[in-house]
Structure 1
Amino acid sequence: MPHLPSPPRNLWRQQDFRLLLGGRLVSQLGDQLQFLALPLLVVALTGSPAQAGIVLGLQTVVHLVFGLVAGALADRWDRKTTMVSCEIGRGVLTATVPIAAACGVLGMPHLYAIAVLNGVLSTLFGAANSSALPNIVTGADLPSALGAIGATSNALRILGAAGAGIAYTLDRMVPFTVNAVSFLASAAALRAMRADFQQERATATVSPRELLADIGHGLSWLWRKPVIRTLALLDAGDGLRYGAGYLLIIMLAQHLHANPTQVGVIFTGAAIGALLGSLLAPALTRRFPLGALSITMLWVEASAFPFYALVPTWWLLLVVAFTESVVSPIYNVALDSYRLSVTPDALRGRVTSAIDTLTGGAAAIGTMVSGALIALFGAPTLTIVLAGWLTFLALAATSSRTVRTATATD
């Protein structure tokens, strides 16, 4: 059953989308270079992996704490101005790292401050960015746009790790310098776009009481939408497993005597699977109902996950990771297309941020407890437990009439 009433146009002929995607890719490349360089820099400065973990975790904490507020502000403020300002702010903040290093004054208080402030700006940028997309492309183009964004992001993910290692080897400050420039390039691309990033805008100034009222209104609207609400709760449940999966797969690979290069190849296989899923997503989103894609994804994950603990060699872990990774981008494009289409423009920031906070928080919990659970149960046993959890979620989705009947016209 088709999801959309009209065929999509050629996205690559739309200048605004090309600018949006180009700026996003440049910025993401810089982020990938810095993501590897930052913990290495912290360890070089302090000799403490624990401090490296704290710095990396700060942005997640900021996102969870500030997410709902960022969504409300993204609905109040001019989104294009907000996004451009955030990119410039992140570029300036990131540039202070190589400047401080050159002056011999770089220290941990500086890096902690950068992590927190960049986390605030990244959260606000993300809320405005996800809310703006339906005003840059038409509703019929949303699946293609989301699929293209996912495909290019996953392609960059495949190549990014190698590039990050090379950049850091050249000089510790190269990744930070490149990232600072990438933020400014992204800001320039956004500034050159002609589209309006929102249909209407409330007053830019807002009191704390009004901000809380805005957040409450967004949550209330979300709760009254059974399809979005139910799928968000299922996604949060899946996020618990996803958060635990990264460390779990590493431990299972080590159990099979995989060396670090082979572990990297396993995650590269997962990225290639995600790239394939992103390429298939637009056509499948138009061909199948949202509910069917949701149920299929959960059953494929539940069926594939036990094999992480059962395969006898590391390269078969790659096969499992590839297979499991194909389905999630297809479902995500279908869900995001639906959610962005049915959510009023004035509420998109709040609704998107609320869902991201819920699912991101669940993934963060899974990440934080995974080490303790692996130590308690062992990696193979925890794999089977999580497979059982995925089976429960698949059964819940299958038995839910709300999910089974979910289509783009709900």
Structure 2
Amino acid sequence: MTSSPTRPPPTAADGRGTPWGALRRHRPFLLLCGEQAASSVGRQITALALALLAVTRLDAGPLGASALLALTYLPGAVLSPLAGVLADRARLRTLAVTLTSLQVVVVGSVPLAGALGSLRLPHLYAVAAVSGALTWTLSVALQAALPRVVRPEQLLTGNSALTGARTAGQIGGPALGGVLVGLAGASPALLAGSAAYAVEAVLLFALPASLNRPAVPTGDRRPRLAALREGFAVVRAEPVLRRQVLAGAGFNLGSGGADALFVVYASRELSLPAWQLGLVYAAFSVATVAGVLLAGRFGTSVELYRATRVCAVVAALAIFLVPAASLGPAFPALLAYQLLFGVTATVWAISMTTTQQLIAPQHLQGRVAGFAQAALLTTVPVGALSAGALAGRLGNVPVLTGAAATALLAAACFWLPHRAGTSVRPPAP
């Protein structure tokens, strides 16, 4: 059984001592917020443009579009535990800058191939896979970096603020992507995504040099297999982590299937134009703001965990609005889905990340984050590929309905009884 990290005395209760009051003047944390906003813009534009390129220009069907999404997540599912070991041992600032700089090159290769007339589906698949590997490795690294930047009692506020920063990018990213696709085409629009990644690299480079001190000193390093086992032991030993990971993995199986079909379903079956599709994606980001504010109102992660039980079920129920869009006005139904899903999924995500960081020892932050992320991501490509294959035979609406039902069953795991004497509550910060 692992213990929670050592906590310094609580901060004072004045404007400077409150977690947010201190973080507003914390330069490294503000750099991370800027990085999250820039990264969000890059990811949103890239995801939308790649999907539209595959569907509208290269004639990808449901299975092809699902494969594109699956390849985005599959590297994270496979590589996240190893990324956790790397994050605990590497120079974090150098690692983060390198990963983001490679994103600029990878995403920028698509408009270059389009200009040369050599763009093909295999190229998009390769970009999705490599970009996914870079994205998820960076995600583990930054989760490990935050507890080294802020105090433990600031983690809840810090994760809420970082989610808000991502939302700022997500609000403009999809809408900007939709406008750029409509005006210049999907391939040139990716130049804007590549530029956003370049800004992210500059912000990461400005982080303090102290992050280049590895969490695990060279002399204390175990063989990689033993290091992996050490991180897995934390996830296995903590009831709250086990329950969150299991419920999240099942939920992602269903929501991954819905996400894989979303662009094909919305653009072909519902005939949504690109600008409406962009606004639908932006609605999720607007809803995330409400989720950030709601999560921040909970004083401790214990209360956040209680809210998670409700939010998980509501988020799953929201997915049923996607197939329901075929029964009436599609645009309002999809907007309602993104708004409801955005609020509830955000509270869930902030709760999971904060409790994970509070439970994991400092030198194991990367490995715990890596194993949790691997479990959550493994089911996404499975759900995406399964949904794509089934949609070709059964149609989009029945498969989307089944995906929503799968997510709901997984969310119900939070409500299952637990053994007497076993706590499923995270420690209070």
TM-score by length of 1: 0.81
Give the number of equivalent residue pairs: 406
Secondary structure of 1:13's aligned partner: coil
CA distance in 2, matches of 1:165, 1:255: 16
CA distance in 1, matches of 2:270, 2:124: 36
Q: Which residue of 2 aligns with 1:137?
A: 150
Q: Which residue of 2 aligns with 1:275?
A: 289
Give the alignment partner of residue 225 of structure 2, picking from 212, 220, 225.
212
Give the alignment partner of residue 28 of structure 1, picking from 40, 50, 53.
40
Matched, 1:237 2:254: no
Range that drifts further, 258-267 or 248-257 = 248-257
Q: Percent identity?
A: 25
CA distance in 2, matches of 1:395, 1:172: 39
Matched, 1:65 2:78: yes
Corresponding letter in the other structure for 1:361: T
Contact 2:93 2:204 in 1 (8 A): yes
Range that drifts further, 6-15 or 356-365 = 6-15
CA offsets, 1:129-159, max 9 Å, x none? 1111111122222222222222232343232
Q: Which residue of 2 aligns with 1:357?
A: 374
Contact 1:77 1:203 in 2 (8 A): no
Corresponding letter in the other structure for 2:375: L
Change (3 A) 1:103 1:371: closer
RMSD of Structure 2 on Structure 1 (CA)? 3.9
Secondary structure of 1:364's aligned partner: helix
CA distance in 1, matches of 2:405, 2:265: 18
Range that drifts further, 7-16 or 372-381 = 372-381
Unaligned ranges ≥5, structure 1: none
CA distance in 2, matches of 1:45, 1:320: 27
Give the alignment partner of residue 184 of structure 1, picking from 192, 198, 205.
198
Secondary structure of 1:85's aligned partner: helix
Corresponding letter in the other structure for 1:8: P
TM-score by length of 2: 0.78
Q: Which residue of 2 aligns with 1:408?
A: 427
CA distance in 2, matches of 1:176, 1:154: 20
Q: Which residue of 1 aligns with 2:328?
A: 313
Corresponding letter in the other structure for 1:239: N
CA distance in 1, matches of 2:117, 2:260: 36
CA distance in 1, matches of 2:29, 2:47: 26
Contact 2:66 2:384 in 1 (8 A): no
Q: Which residue of 2 aligns with 1:9?
A: 20
What aligned pairs does 1:65-104 form with structure 2 within 5 A after superposition? 65-97=78-110
Matched, 1:166 2:179: yes
CA offsets, 1:155-190, max 9 Å, x none? 432322231233343366643433333333222212
Matched, 1:291 2:308: no
CA distance in 1, matches of 2:75, 2:320: 34
Distance apart, 1:77 and its partner CA: 1.1
Distance apart, 1:367 and its partner CA: 1.9
Contact 1:39 1:53 in 2 (8 A): no
